[in-house]
Amino acid sequence: MKIIYKVFNPQNGLYTDLSSIEECTQLFAKIAYEFYVTHTGNQPISIVIEEDGVETWRNMQGTEIVNPELVQQQILEQLEIL
């Protein structure tokens, strides 16, 4: 009898055949990390500086990024116009 382990990759919809649980956990961790980073725009951690009630969002390199609350506010303002 032969046991084959299969790990699904949601990025490409394919399974990878492996021969041990150790290989499965290594591949699963790699896929999970890549999936998470991809879906967070390569910015899984943001630094938020609040000054006088205004938030400035930055990535880990210190570059300013889009404030999600500001985006939501702008979308709501545009929807009210329509």
37-52 pLDDT per residue, tens: 898 888 888 899 999 9
State pTM to two decimals.
0.62
Cβ-proximal residues to 49 (8 Å cutoff; 6+ apart), any chain: 55, 56, 58
Which pLDDT belongs to residue 81?
A: 64
Q: Kindly state whether residues 55 and 73 are assigned to the same domain.
A: yes
Q: Kindly state whether residues 32 and 11 are assigned to the same domain.
A: yes
Number of domains forming the structure of the chain: 2
Q: Kindly state whether residues 53 and 77 are assigned to the same domain.
A: yes
Within 1-82, strands assigned E span 5-9, 14-18, 47-51, 54-58, 64-65
Q: What secondary structure letter does DSSP report for 52?
A: T
Q: Which three-class secondary structure state does DSSP give residue 59?
A: coil
Range of the structural domain that residue 59 is part of:
47-81
Give first-to-last CA distance, the chain, whole Å: 65
Q: Kindly state whether residues 53 and 73 are assigned to the same domain.
A: yes
Q: Kindly state whether residues 51 and 77 are assigned to the same domain.
A: yes
